[in-house]
Structure 1
Amino acid sequence: MEFDVIGVEDWLNVHERDAAWDIAQSTIASLTPDELRELDGRDGAELIERLAREPQSYGWIEGSPAFKAEVQTLYEHEIDPRRILQTNGCTGANLNALLAVVRPGDHVIAEWPTYAPLYEIPRALGADVEHWTVRRELGWLPDIDELERLVRRDTRLICINNAANPTGAVMDADMLGRIAQIAASVGAYVLCDEVYLPLDEQVGYRSMADIYDRAIVTDSVSKTYSVPGARIGWVIADDEVSGAIRTLRDYTMISGGVANDALATYVLAHRDAVLARNRALVLSNRATVQSWIDGQPRVSWVAPRGVSTSYIELDIPVDDETFCLRLLEEYGVLLVPGSRFGLPCGARLGYCARPDVLREGLRRLGEALADFDR
């Protein structure tokens, strides 16, 4: 079993610490300790008091009851807490879910290109993976009719990323319903990575967990909730898959740790405040980027639907990796080249950075692009 390098992670691992102006990330401006303390209105006493009384043991192996109770409130339907398993971020949720479901020779359909583990892990596990390709003319969504042609009687799993990394495209409830119908016609599971929550309230978004009984949903507090440092995610699945993941977790993580569980629970308990802060930041920043793009002859995008990540297309005479390296070296600005995702010439723009960082990063990016016209 061999795993390919994840292009975006390899790029960030090498370059992110060299950037003065990081506008590549997809986490909404990570919360500082001071901002976290403000959430409960008591200078963080709620979190501090909980940590003070908790022994630093392994803690609750599957996630504390308080954590699971907060996760339950994120969904429309009541979910048995035994079907909610805490993981090491959404990365760990996806890994454990795929290890639990995919067998050598299985037919897997995966949205492509998007977050690479959703198709690379099944391939490494020996599955027959077919790509369900996203299309620029469809707003970076795949064609639902193509999924009907791809599905087979022996299809085991359909993998999607909603909202999508890096494009910020969102499959609405109607499209998710069609996917569920197609999957149900052959008894396939649908794994939906939901780590990016659309914050534009005009988007008709629902979780796949509320649409399909064979859904496997993964999520975390890293992106939308702005605390990737907690390294806490979760996976929700039916009893059979949850049982398999429960065994795998003993091999891959055991527990998330008492402090991390407490932090994630605290953030989810105050998610209304976090989401209000993040919604205002994302929507304001999106307007900033749109205004900047309107004045840039070499840049275009399909505006993201209130999702923290986006994709800009670049009309430049060099490949995007060469350009992004020069941008970093000469201007101190970090983007992720589109080639790292298998997308056309362009870059992931993490417009969810703090506004001052975004504005300066865009200014410098504009200067780098203007060099082509001098």
Structure 2
Amino acid sequence: MELPEFKVEAWLNKWEKSAQYDISQSSIAALTLEELMTLAGTTSEEFFGHLAQTPLDYGWIEGSPEFKQAVSQLYQNVAPDNVLQMNGATGGNFLALLALVEPGDEIVSMRPSYQQLYDFPKSLGAEVKFIELQEENAWEFEVSKLAQVITSKTKVITLNNANNPTGTYLNRQQLEEVVALAKKVDAYVLVDEVYQPLEATDYCPVVDLYDKGISINSLSKTYSLPGLRIGWSASSREIADLFRKYRDYTTICGGVINDALAVLALQCKDKILARNRQIMAQNMATVQEWLETQPRVSLVGGQGVSTSFIKIEMIQSDTEFCRQLLQEKGVLLVPGSAFDKPGYARLGYCCQPEVLKEGLKRLGGFLAGK
């Protein structure tokens, strides 16, 4: 198997720790342990004191019963036993694709998107077809184009909903149309749902629409806990049983402490989401105000999602632009080339408000040659 460089991860691995103002990340500002405990109505002393005598063994291999129950309640049609704990959404995507894709299969994906969803199946020997998202169409996924490329050979449709990096999403009606097309050819629909919009009332997880729909999610983005590395797959029993076989080869467990913290977070999820809605609204207002002063920058895309894709008029390549910005101003963006869309940059605007304000100020100064 030959895998191409994972461009987003390679960029962040190289540069993120040297940034003074990291406005590249797609998570909503990470919670501290203390903040999580406060939202949950407990203290670190009480929580960890309760765990002090817990053996640090493998724990529950697929996630504790409490974890599986809490995750199942996020969906309408998922039994707790059909929830499998994963090493983040990346681990869930990896395992699902490994279990489903064989050489010669046909995959339909979207672009720009999370590179894993199309380059990993390609490395497994699949042919990948793309639905290209276009700025002039507000980065919307056009189901009519899917109807043109899907065939009887299509094995899996892989989607990122909401989309990283554009922040746009398929609403329930659009996803129902995707499912209807998938049913005609008996294809799976694998959806990375880590960027589930915070404000949308017309959003629906794919697992609630289709028995061959697979919802992958984690606590990393919407729930502000990327450091826990806890994600999951939610699916039908038949698919969960298939995944179990492959999971034994790739994942043992998420860890006793991380599982307990994940359960705590899911128990106070409403408070976490309320906190994150406030951060998102405040920061988007900051971005919109800043954009009004920037003739060389524009933003098209959805709101209520923690990632955005800005277009920048640049003299040099986007990669060189972002490198110079970091070196001269200490500000980190992800170049659009990491998503096969040069001329753009991922702006992770849901960082801490003071980081965003200073990062945008410095970005504006860099664009003005100051």
Residue in structure 2 matched with residue 25 of structure 1 by the alignment: 25
Question: Residue 312 in 1 paired to residue 310 in 2?
Answer: yes
Residue in structure 2 matched with residue 75 of structure 1 by the alignment: 75
Distance change >3 Å, CA 301–CA 124, structure 1 → 2: same
CA distance in 2: counterparts of 1:285 and 1:303, whole angstroms? 15
Cα deviations across residues 116-175 of structure 1 (Å, max 9, x unaligned)? 000011100001111111121221122111100111012111000000101101111110
CA distance in 1: counterparts of 2:81 and 2:199, whole angstroms? 31
Cα deviations across residues 297-346 of structure 1 (Å, max 9, x unaligned)? 00001143210010000012111111100000000000000011011401
CA distance in 2: counterparts of 1:358 and 1:10, whole angstroms? 23
Contact 2:7–2:338 (8 Å) recurs in 1:
yes
Instruction: Give the root-mean-square deviation of aligned CA atoms.
Output: 1.3
Which letter does structure 1 place at the counterpart of 2:197? Answer: P
Residue in structure 2 matched with residue 296 of structure 1 by the alignment: 294
CA distance in 1: counterparts of 2:124 and 2:240, whole angstroms? 19
Secondary structure of 1:322 counterpart: helix
Contact 2:219–2:228 (8 Å) recurs in 1:
yes
Of 169-178 and 301-310, deviating more is: 301-310
Question: Residue 140 in 1 paired to residue 139 in 2?
Answer: yes
CA distance in 1: counterparts of 2:300 and 2:49, whole angstroms? 45
CA distance in 2: counterparts of 1:249 and 1:299, whole angstroms? 44
Residue in structure 1 matched with residue 2 of structure 2 by the alignment: 2
Contact 1:47–1:263 (8 Å) recurs in 2:
no
Residue in structure 1 matched with residue 208 of structure 2 by the alignment: 210
Which letter does structure 2 place at the counterpart of 1:169? Answer: T
Residue in structure 1 matched with residue 151 of structure 2 by the alignment: 152
Cα deviations across residues 237-278 of structure 1 (Å, max 9, x unaligned)? 223322222122222121111011111111111101100000
Contact 2:58–2:256 (8 Å) recurs in 1:
yes
Give the alignment of 1:282-293 within 5 angstroms: 282-293=280-291
CA distance in 2: counterparts of 1:249 and 1:239, whole angstroms? 15
Q: CA deviation at 1:49?
A: 5.0
Cα deviations across residues 67-93 of structure 1 (Å, max 9, x unaligned)? 00110111123x122211000000000
Contact 1:282–1:308 (8 Å) recurs in 2:
yes
CA distance in 1: counterparts of 2:301 and 2:243, whole angstroms? 36
Distance change >3 Å, CA 221–CA 50, structure 1 → 2: farther
Residue in structure 1 matched with residue 323 of structure 2 by the alignment: 325
TM-score after normalising by structure 1: 0.96
CA distance in 1: counterparts of 2:113 and 2:334, whole angstroms? 13
CA distance in 1: counterparts of 2:52 and 2:269, whole angstroms? 22
Give the alignment of 1:9-48 within 5 angstroms: 9-44=9-44, 47-48=47-48
Secondary structure of 1:36 counterpart: helix
Gaps of 5+ in 1: none
Residue in structure 2 matched with residue 60 of structure 1 by the alignment: 60
Which letter does structure 1 place at the counterpart of 2:199? Answer: D
Give the alignment of 1:322-361 within 5 angstroms: 322-361=320-359
Question: Residue 247 in 1 paired to residue 213 in 2?
Answer: no
Give the alignment of 1:270-289 within 5 angstroms: 270-289=268-287
Secondary structure of 2:131 counterpart: strand
Secondary structure of 1:142 counterpart: coil
Gaps of 5+ in 2: none
Secondary structure of 1:39 counterpart: helix
Cα deviations across residues 206-226 of structure 1 (Å, max 9, x unaligned)? 111111221011000011111
Contact 1:89–1:222 (8 Å) recurs in 2:
yes
Contact 1:47–1:266 (8 Å) recurs in 2:
no
Q: How many residues align?
A: 370
Distance change >3 Å, CA 50–CA 187, structure 1 → 2: farther
TM-score after normalising by structure 2: 0.97
Contact 2:298–2:311 (8 Å) recurs in 1:
yes
Question: Residue 269 in 1 paired to residue 252 in 2?
Answer: no
Contact 2:230–2:258 (8 Å) recurs in 1:
yes
Question: Residue 192 in 1 paired to residue 191 in 2?
Answer: yes
Distance change >3 Å, CA 135–CA 46, structure 1 → 2: farther
Give the alignment of 1:113-132 within 5 angstroms: 113-132=112-131
Secondary structure of 1:170 counterpart: coil
Contact 2:220–2:230 (8 Å) recurs in 1:
yes
CA distance in 2: counterparts of 1:286 and 1:30, whole angstroms? 17
Contact 1:309–1:351 (8 Å) recurs in 2:
yes
Which letter does structure 2 place at the counterpart of 1:308? Answer: S
Residue in structure 2 matched with residue 162 of structure 1 by the alignment: 161
Between the two proteins, what is the percent identity of the paired residues?
48
